[in-house]
Amino acid sequence: MGKKILVIGGVACGPKAACRVKRLDPSVDVTIVEKGEEISYGACGLPFYLEGEVGELKDLTTTPVGVPRDVNFFKAVKGVDVKLNTEAVAIDRKNKKVAVRNVKDGTQEELPYDKLVIATGSSPVTPPIPGIDLEGIYCLKTMEDGSRLKNAMENSPGKNAVIVGAGLIGMECLEPLLKAGFTCHIVEKLPFVLPALLDEEMAVPLMKHISSKGVVLHCGDGVESFKDNGQGRVSKVVTEKTEIDADLVLLAIGFRPNSQIAQDAGLEVGRMGIITDAYMRTSDPDIYAGGDCVASFNIVSGTYMYAPMGSTANKHGRIIGNNLAGWNTTFSGVCGTGVCNIMGFNVARTGLTERDAKAQGLETITSLCPAPDKPHYMKGSKLIHMKMVAEKYTGRLLGVQILGPGEVLSRVDTAAAILKGRGTVEDVFETDMAYAPPFSPAMDNLIVAANVIQNKMDGLISSYAPAEVKAKLDRGEDFVLLDVRTPKELEQMKLPYDNVVHIPLGMVRKKAADELPKDKEIVCMCKISLRGYEAARMLKEAGFDSEKIRLLDGGIVAWPYEKIVNM
C-alpha cells in the first residue's frame, strides 16, 4: 500500500482532493473524516431546496445520473474510505497523527497520515446577541440546517420572518420565504444590501426592486436582542431603531473559517483563514488546506481576502489532489467573482468595488452604464445596470458590477478573465466577444462601459456620479442640469429640481447659445447619458467652457433619488 493521505472535511474541497489524487495515483490510501452525516453535497443549492426548485434534499447528494454520493459510492467507485460522524479534534504534526472523535458515542482514536488535507469549511457567524439561542432562530449552512428551516417554514406559528444580514444567503432566501407566505423584513447593519458585492449606488436599484415585492428593509440598523415569547421561542427582533414581530428568524450575517484546529497545531493562520502558498500547502509542507477554511489571494488587489465559494473550494481540491500525486500545480488566486438571482434580479460582481479599491489606496475612474442587454429592437430585451472600476492613470480593469433583469453571467465571466490577465479597459474593448441580436448589442454593454472610461481618460468628457450631483443639489450650488430627452420621455419621468433645463438633443446646437448660461456648470443627462455625452460634445463645440461641462453618469435610469414618474 502507498502513502496514507488523510482528509479532514467531506463537503467540497476534501472529496475533490481525495478523488483527484486517487485517480492520479491509485496506490495511495485515502481516508476522509467528516463530522456530519452527509458527504459531498451541494450546499449552495439549499436556498433552492427551500424554494422548491430542488425537489428533495437528497438530490443535493447525488451524481448527475442520480446515484447517491454516500460512503459505499466513495469506496466502490472512488476507492476512498469515508468515516462519517467523525470529528477531527487535534493534529499531532510531530508524529503525523490526527485525533478524531465519534460525535455519536464519544469514542476516540488516532489516524496516521503521510500527507494531510484540511478542508474544514466555515461556520455561520453567530454573535453573542441576547436571545440568540431561542427556538425559531435558524442558520443555513448544512443539509441539517436546510431540513430544519424547511420544516420551520411549513410549521411556523405565524408568518413574520426576519432575515438578519443582507448578504448572499439572506437575499437568496427571500423568495422561498415570500412564496411560503411570509412577510419578510431584512435587518442590515450597513446602509445597503449586498455590501460585500456592491457599491451603494448599484445596490439602490436592487433595494427598490425587492421593496416593490413587499420586502421591508431596515438598512443602517443593527440587532440588539431577540425577545422571548415566554415559552423559549423568539417573538420579536429588537433593533437599534425599532422592534419587529418575528415568528421565524434567519441569521445570515456571514461565515467565518473553521481554522481553529490548524491554529492549535501551530500552522500559520490569519484573520481570514489558514495561510497557504500557491500549491495550497500550509506552513507545514506535509499539510495542505483548501476551501472555506483558507484565506484566498486576491489577484486584483494583491492582498488576502475571504472568499467562501463552492467553485473555489472545488478548484482548491483539484490542485491539492494534483500536488499530492507529485504534480506541481499552482493556484494564482481569485477575483471575488459571484452571481445570484434575487426575485428576478440578476446580480453579479467580479474584482474590486470602488469602495474596496479606494480602501486599498488605489485611485479610480469609473463608468455607470445602464442599458438593455440586447438591441432595443429585439423583443425580450431587459435592462441591466453596469458599473466598471478602473485604475485612474493606467486604465487597468479593477472590477465590474452588473445587475438587473437582463443577462449578466457572460459579462461578469468575461470581465473575470480579463482581470486574471491584469487587462485594461482597452483590452476589454479589443476582446472578441460573440455578437448576434438575440444575445447582445453589437457593442456589448461591457465594451460600452470600458469605452466610457477610455473617453474620460482621453479627456473627451468629465462626469459626476449621481451621489456627487445630489450632494451639489443639497448644498444649493448654482448649476444647470441639462436634460436632452424627448418631450414624451419627459412626460413619463423627470427630476423634480428647479435647475433642470430641457432641450431635446436635436435642438441643442440651435438653442444652447440662447438658453444656457456660459458662466455656470452644466451637467448633461438623458435616459442613460448616451445622448448626454453627445450634448456635452456639442456644447464644447459651441464654445462653452469645457471645464464647466459635465455628464451625469448613468442618466436618469441610474438616478437613485427623487423622480417624478407618470408611467
Q: Is it the case that residue 1 has pLDDT exceeding 80?
A: no
Please report, for residues 37, 48, 51, 124, 287, the alpha-carbon distance to residue 255 in angstroms, rounded to integers and kept in the order given. Answer: 21, 19, 22, 4, 23
pLDDT of residue 387: 97
How far apart, in whole angstroms, are the C-alpha atoms of residue 389 and residue 237?
38
CATH of domain 137-253: 3.50.50.60
Q: Is it the case that residue 117 has pLDDT exceeding 60?
A: yes
CA-closest candidate to residue 48, choices 121, 149, 123, 126: 149
Q: Which amino acid is at 226?
A: F
How far apart, in whole angstroms, are the C-alpha atoms of residue 152 and residue 173?
13
Instruction: Classify 368 as helix, strand or coil.
Output: strand
CATH of domain 4-122+256-324: 3.50.50.60
Q: Which three cell numbers stand for residue 309?
A: 465559494
CB 415 within 8 A of CB 367: no
How far apart, in whole angstroms, are the C-alpha atoms of residue 220 and residue 191?
4
Average pLDDT, the chain: 94
Site of grid cell 481618460: 457
Mean pLDDT (whole number) for 176-205: 95
pLDDT of residue 563: 85
pLDDT of residue 567: 56
SS3 content of the chain, % helix, strand, coil (to 5): 30, 30, 40
CATH of domain 338-457: 3.50.50.60
Instruction: Classify 481 as helix, strand or coil.
Output: strand
Using a 10 angstrom Cβ sphere, with 0-12 exposed, 13-18 middle and 19 or more buried, the burial of residue 427 is middle
Mind listing the pLDDT tens digit for each residue in 145-156?
999 999 999 999
pLDDT of residue 61: 87
Q: Which three cell numbers stand for residue 173?
A: 432566501
pLDDT of residue 68: 87
pLDDT of residue 43: 86
CB 9 within 8 A of CB 34: yes
Model confidence, pTM: 0.91
| Sign for the pseudo-dihedral over CA of 188, 189, 191, 195 | negative
Tell me which of 19, 44, 219, 524 is the catalytic residue.
44
pLDDT of residue 107: 94
Instruction: Classify 183 as helix, strand or coil.
Output: strand
Pick the CATH number of 463-565 from 2.40.50.220, 3.40.350.10, 3.40.250.10, 3.30.1330.10: 3.40.250.10
Mean pLDDT (whole number) for 115-129: 95
Mean pLDDT (whole number) for 114-139: 95
Beta-carbon count within 10 A of 112 CB: 14
Would you call 13 a catalytic residue per the annotation? no
Three-state SS letters, 492-530:
HEECCCCCEEECCHHHHHHHHHHHCCCCCEEEEECCCCH
**Domain residue ranges of the chain, discontinuous segments joined by +:** 4-122+256-324, 137-253, 338-457, 463-565
pLDDT of residue 474: 94
pLDDT of residue 115: 97
Residues contacting residue 198 through CB under 8 Å, at least 6 positions apart: 192, 206, 347, 349, 353, 401, 403
pLDDT of residue 67: 87
Q: Is it the case that residue 509 has pLDDT exceeding 70?
A: yes
Mind listing the pLDDT tens digit for each residue in 175-187?
999 999 999 999 9
Q: Are domains 4-122+256-324 and 338-457 of this chain identical in fold?
A: yes
Residues contacting residue 157 through CB under 8 Å, at least 6 positions apart: 233, 247
How far apart, in whole angstroms, are the C-alpha atoms of residue 468 and residue 376?
30
Mind listing the pLDDT tens digit for each residue in 250-298?
999 999 999 999 999 999 999 999 999 999 999 999 999 999 999 999 9
Instruction: Supply the angle between the helices 310-324 and 13-24 in degrees, to the nearest 10.
Output: 30
Please report, for residues 220, 280, 323, 331, the alpha-carbon distance to residue 286 in angstroms, rounded to integers and kept in the order given. Answer: 46, 11, 11, 18
Q: Is it the case that residue 38 has pLDDT exceeding 80?
A: yes
Beta-carbon count within 10 A of 546 CB: 15
Mind listing the pLDDT tens digit for each residue in 326-349?
999 999 999 999 999 999 999 999
